[in-house]
A and B are shown apart, each in its own frame.
Chain A
């Protein structure tokens, strides 16, 4: 990767991985019970300071929630689940969807239109509604089943996202098939596999990265929505939010933190806003990465291609720079300065 063109991408990825590692190492530095203070809180002098939820203070930098847990610690603890679930879902979506897209548009081109119609469900029903109904089976408390629940949820999330990847992949390949280099490769007797290997691979690589970032965004948003409906990644735990009949998130994943405190918003906004803003920051980072990748590839979404014009303009600007006479062009001046 070139540092100049991918500056923001490298920075963003390193920030995300730093957060992930910080969250993974939580057992080394964080308190095990997440600073839990159940009923009354006293300050250093021994005077009564309040009951949870506490507003942000020096002891609780981001405040505490209704269970008395430190929100900063909760966020540090839960970050890994958010990041890893979003990344794995996005990766699986792009991998499986891309494979299927390649297969359908190269070898099974006959049935591609029917498959497109078959996938109309995903086109016209918003993913949150689909996911919500498909995930009903694991939305209640099941003992000792975190990993299986997680697996089930990831499978559903992946299934929801595959169709869009499949359709975009086949669209891109259709466009590439019209290019002259592909046509000449076919004319010279290249098989589908050969064309895929030699002509399409560079395109598939760069488009795949871009699609991965897009799917990352969409899966993050989807997970956040699910939190609102009290469906948490990693299942629900046995305990309830103190005083309310809402089950806690088991994994303390960020969307779950938003979801379990959703009705606290009007009384103590910081409980909901802190995880939401953390989510916002992650989404901004990924968006910046996406924009830079798009700019480096000169792809403009929604099918409106500006590339030609942009290229023209860039060309002229470069030429101007080349043509412009600078002081160093004059031998005389150089002699004088030296």
Chain B
């Protein structure tokens, strides 16, 4: 444990170095537009990387990072993060609800549902975005339902449509995996015992299996949030919503340090989930060792 904690700074420096080097790849690999050549400029690259790292050691002397995030920047950031956190909540609740209700159906209907879900998860998200957009526009035109605001403007902050689009595929993904877990868990011995004692299926699913499955959601959340982050980026671009993606794009042209900090801010939900899942895995492992 102590070794691990002592090792943390090394890990931090390594990951920061990774960020700086990857962001500087366009300097290593430049495209010469006049001669149509791809050039590798190792010398420049080295200089840039070292200067960027020196920047990082004097972060407090550079107030421009704060300037980027002051005012509208931080507002946009919170707007995007609100959308993501609301959608995570919706995905978890909806996924759990639908998965358990599918499990309570008779086996033939359950199979049909799971096949349908397997098929839907293969759909590329862009197709889903367009189809949902079309659906909303169709409702708007034919039934005069004007409650959903589709496009962003200078000041408007639509919530419904981005959340609907971001939630759709991850929910189905979560349902698919929860169903898998349910089927997996059904073969455990304690379920057999509960069945033999004469407990109804509903109690077994809700009381016993669900309780064992819920912690596993955290592991799936890694993929789901990753998916959401890339989807919100695309949705904001497509619907012209002024979210955090515009801030990120404006950051790229300026300085590497700002961009790296911006990327880290964008990835905070994912980082939190990574930490949570590693804690959970550690906990589970300890449980196993003590029982053994």
Contacts and interface: CB of A to CB of B under 8 A. Distances in A.
Contact of A136 (B26, B123, B233, B266): B26
A21 interface: no
A284 B155 CA distance: 40
Given A138-B31, A266-B137, 6 more contacts: A121-B18, A121-B22, A124-B267, A148-B31, A225-B230, A269-B134
B29 A228 contact: no
A119 interface: yes
A122 B230 CA distance: 13
Interface in A94-140: 113-114, 117-130, 133-134, 136-138
Contact of A304 (B10, B181, B234, B263): B181
A302 B11 CA distance: 25
Interface of A: 113-114, 117-130, 133-134, 136-138, 142, 144-145, 148-149, 151-152, 155-156, 159, 221, 224-225, 228-229, 258, 262, 265-266, 269, 272-273, 276-277, 279-280, 283-284, 287, 302, 304, 306, 309
Contact of B237 (A123, A138, A228, A304): A228
B15 interface: yes
Interface of B: 10-11, 14-15, 17-19, 22-23, 25-26, 29-31, 33, 36-38, 122-127, 130, 133-134, 137, 177, 180-181, 184, 187, 219-220, 226, 229-230, 233-234, 237-238, 248, 252, 259, 263, 266-267, 270-271, 274
14 contacts: A114-B11, A118-B15, A120-B14, A129-B230, A133-B252, A148-B36, A151-B38, A221-B124, A224-B124, A228-B126, A228-B237, A265-B134, A276-B124, A302-B220
Contacts of B252: 133, 136
B126 A224 contact: yes
B127 A276 contact: yes
A142 B233 contact: no
Nearest to A266: B137
8 tightest A-B contacts by CB? A126-B230, A120-B15, A124-B267, A117-B14, A118-B18, A145-B36, A287-B122, A117-B11
B266 A125 contact: yes
A116 to B, nearest CB: 9
Contacts, number: 126
Nearest to A230: B237
Contacts of B274: 123-124
Interface of A is mostly: helix
A129 B263 contact: yes
Give chain B's interface secondary structure class. Answer: helix
A68 B85 CA distance: 44
A124 B270 contact: yes
B95 to A, nearest CB: 15
Contact of A273 (B19, B25, B130): B130
Contact of A258 (B14, B126, B237): B126
Nearest to B18: A118
Given A138-B31, A283-B124, A144 B36 contact: yes
A127 B22 CA distance: 12
Contacts of B10: 114, 117
Contacts of A118: 14-15, 17-18
Residue from the set B31, B38, B259, B263 with the largest chain A CB neighbour count within 10 Å: B31
B237 A229 contact: yes
Given A221-B124, A258-B126, A283-B122, A129 B233 contact: yes
A149 B233 contact: no
A104 to B, nearest CB: 14
B267 A125 contact: yes
A73 to B, nearest CB: 22
A265 B127 CA distance: 12
Nearest to B122: A287
